Structure 1
Amino acid sequence: MINGYSNIVFGYSNIVFGYSNIVFGYSNIVFGYSNIVFGYSNIVFGYFNIVFGYSNIVFGYFNIVFGYFNIVFGYSNIVFGYFNIVFGYSNIVFGYSNIVFGYSNIVFGYSFVINACTLVTTVYLFLANA
Structure 2
Amino acid sequence: MSQTFPQTFHVIVAEDDPVVAVTIAETLEERGFRVTIGRNGFDAFKIDQNDPADILITDLRMPHFDGTSLIARMQEQRPELPILVTTGYSDNLPKEEPGQLSVVHKPFSEDSIVRAVQSLLGVA
The normalised TM-score by structure 2 is 0.29
More strand by share: 1
The normalised TM-score by structure 1 is 0.28
> Greater RCO between the two (CA within 8 Å, min separation 6)?
2
More helix by share: 2
